[in-house]
Structure 1
Amino acid sequence: MSSQAHFTDFKSDKRPTWCPGCGDFGTMNGMMKALANTGNSPDDTFICAGIGCSGKIGTYMHSYALHGVHGRALPVGTGVKLANPDLEVMVAGGDGDGYSIGAGHFIHAVRRNVDMTYVVMDNRIYGLTKGQFSPTSREDFETSTSPGGTKQSPVHPLALAMAAGGSFIAQSFSSDAQRHTEIIEQAIEHDGFSLVNTYSPCVTFNDVDTYDFFRDSLVDLAEEDHDPTDYDQARQKIMDFDNIYQGILYQDNDSVGYEKRLGIKEPMNEIPDGAPEGAMDLVREFY
Structure 2
Amino acid sequence: MSSDVRFTDFKSDKQPTWCPGCGDFGTMNGMMKALAETGNHPDETFLVAGIGCSGKIGTYMHSYALHGVHGRALPVGTGVKLANPDLEVMVAGGDGDGYSIGVGHFIHAVRRNVDMTYVVMDNRIYGLTKGQASPTSQEGFETATSPDGTSVPPVNPKALALSAGGTFIAQSFSSDSQRHTELVKQAIEHDGFGFVNVYSPCVTFNDVDTYDYFRDSIVDLEDTDHDPGSFDQAKDRVLDSDKEYIGILYQDEDSTPYVEREGIGSNKAEIPDGAPDGATDLVREFY
TM-score (norm 1): 0.93
Is 1:112 aligned to residue 112 of structure 2?
yes
Is 1:152 aligned to residue 152 of structure 2?
yes
1:69–1:223 CA distance, 2 compared to 1 (3 A):
same
SS in 2 for 1:182: helix
Q: 1:4·1:40 contact (CA, 8 Å) conserved in 2?
A: no
In 1, distance between residues paired with 2:97 and 2:141?
19
Q: 1:172·1:179 contact (CA, 8 Å) conserved in 2?
A: yes
1:209 is aligned to 209
1:230–1:6 CA distance, 2 compared to 1 (3 A):
same
2:278 is aligned to none
1:129 is aligned to 129
Q: 2:44·2:88 contact (CA, 8 Å) conserved in 1?
A: yes
1:26 is aligned to 26
The amino acid across from 2:266 in the alignment is E
The amino acid across from 1:260 in the alignment is E
What do residues 249-277 of structure 1 show as CA deviations (whole Å, max 9, x unaligned)? 00000101101111111211359799xxx
Q: 1:172·1:180 contact (CA, 8 Å) conserved in 2?
A: yes
1:148–1:255 CA distance, 2 compared to 1 (3 A):
same
Is 1:98 aligned to residue 103 of structure 2?
no
Instruction: Give the deviation of 1:238 after TM superposition.
Output: 1.2
Give ranges in structure 2 of 5+ residues lacking alignment.
Answer: 275-287
Is 1:230 aligned to residue 230 of structure 2?
yes
What do residues 104-125 of structure 1 show as CA deviations (whole Å, max 9, x unaligned)? 1001000011001100000000
What do residues 71-122 of structure 1 show as CA deviations (whole Å, max 9, x unaligned)? 0000000000000000000000000000001001001000011001100000
Say what the alpha-carbon RMSD is for the aligned residues. 1.4
The amino acid across from 2:129 in the alignment is T
Instruction: Give the deviation of 1:234 after TM superposition.
Output: 1.2
Q: 2:127·2:205 contact (CA, 8 Å) conserved in 1?
A: yes
1:4 is aligned to 4
Is 1:175 aligned to residue 166 of structure 2?
no
Q: 2:110·2:165 contact (CA, 8 Å) conserved in 1?
A: yes
In 2, distance between residues paired with 1:2 and 1:28?
20
1:67 is aligned to 67
**How many aligned residue pairs are there?**
274
In 2, distance between residues paired with 1:265 and 1:2?
21
SS in 1 for 2:269: helix
1:239 is aligned to 239
1:283 is aligned to none
1:69–1:2 CA distance, 2 compared to 1 (3 A):
closer
In 1, distance between residues paired with 2:273 and 2:167?
33
In 2, distance between residues paired with 1:2 and 1:196?
24
